[in-house]
Amino acid sequence: MHSPRTRSLERFRLDGLRALITGAGRGLGKACAVALADAGAEVVIMSRTASELENLRDQIKNDGGKAEIAVCNAANADQINEIIPDLGRLDILVNNAGTNIPEAFTEVSAANFDAIMNLNVRGAFLMAQAVVKEMLKRGHGGSIINMSSQMGHVGAPNRTVYCASKHAIEGLTKAMGVELAPKGIRVNSVGPTFIETPLTKPFFDNAEFAKDTLARIPLAKLGQVEDVADAVVYLASPAAGMVTGGSLLVDGGWTAR
Q: Is 234 a catalytic residue?
A: no
What is the sign of the dihedral through the CA atoms of 193, 253, 231 and 183?
negative
Tell me the C-alpha distance between 12 and 235, whole Å: 9
Catalytic annotation, pick one of 166, 174, 201, 211: 166
The residue type at 75: A
Catalytic annotation, pick one of 133, 162, 183, 234: 162
Rama region for 252: left / alpha / beta (φ>0; ψ in -120 to 50; rest): left
Q: Is 162 a catalytic residue?
A: yes
Contacts of 44 by beta carbon, 8 Å cutoff, 6+ apart: 18, 19, 20, 21, 67, 68, 69, 70, 87, 90
Tell me the C-alpha distance between 92 and 24, whole Å: 14
> What are the strands of the beta sheet with 66-71, ordered from one edge?
66-71, 42-47, 18-22, 92-95, 142-147, 185-192, 247-250
Tell me the C-alpha distance between 256 and 123, whole Å: 30
Q: Are 236 and 243 in contact (CB under 8 A)?
A: no
Angle between helices 27-38 and 225-236 (to 10 degrees): 50
Active site residues per annotation: 162, 166
